[in-house]
Structure 1
């Protein structure tokens, strides 16, 4: 369990919760105390926040100079310190 990635564990937990939710729903129980509209709004807000944070965190290079700098940084990380022209 030491070498298992966090993403693997998260996917497993989400799958288990999804299966429990499905089984309860099939048996006529509503496991979630929210209406569909409330769930939609909540999930939309979470998606918007996660997208904003992810976009802010990632390096989004738009200019030619920034793209060249990204290429140079990648070369440095790969052990090649030659300048791009």
Structure 2
């Protein structure tokens, strides 16, 4: 039960969220990452990406600490025994 590594999914979701948030901030400062010409469309797309990334990234249980990762493993074992 000493499996203390952050899952690939947690890292991927967090990276997508950071990219979306960075693009949102840069877009607000007039320096977007995404090369979209129309500022209205750019704002809508950026806000949409940020919203989707935030929801997807934090919908799942993202365990970063060793204690949380151990708790996830414990919960997985308990679920196996119930099923």
- TM tier, smaller: 0.3 to 0.5
Higher RCO (CA 8 Å, separation ≥ 6 residues): 2
Relative to the length of structure 2, the TM-score reads 0.46
- Structure showing the higher helix proportion among its residues: 2
